[in-house]
Amino acid sequence: MSLSSHVQELKRKHQSLSEAVEEAQRAPGVDDLQIAELKKQKLRIKEEITRLSAEAVS
């Protein structure tokens, strides 16, 4: 898998997690810890995208 296709896949996962967080926040009774975990996963993916993008430039 090329670097650009890997970054694109990470972006798709990030978007999917964004949608999951929004849906969980709207749903009554969803555990705050579950939402926090989704947000952590989203952040880790975002950091990976940033790191890979920086490597591609240099």
* Structural contact between residues 42 and 14, judged by C-beta atoms closer than 8 angstroms: yes
Nearest-angstrom CA–CA distance, 14 and 6 = 12
pTM score: 0.87
* Structural contact between residues 24 and 30, judged by C-beta atoms closer than 8 angstroms: yes
pLDDT single digits (tens) 1-58: 799 999 999 999 999 999 999 999 999 888 999 999 999 999 999 999 999 999 888 7
Provide the token pair at 46.
Answer: 């975002």
Length of the chain: 58
Written as one letter, the residue type at 4 is: S
- Would you list the domain boundaries of the chain? 3-57
* Structural contact between residues 21 and 39, judged by C-beta atoms closer than 8 angstroms: yes
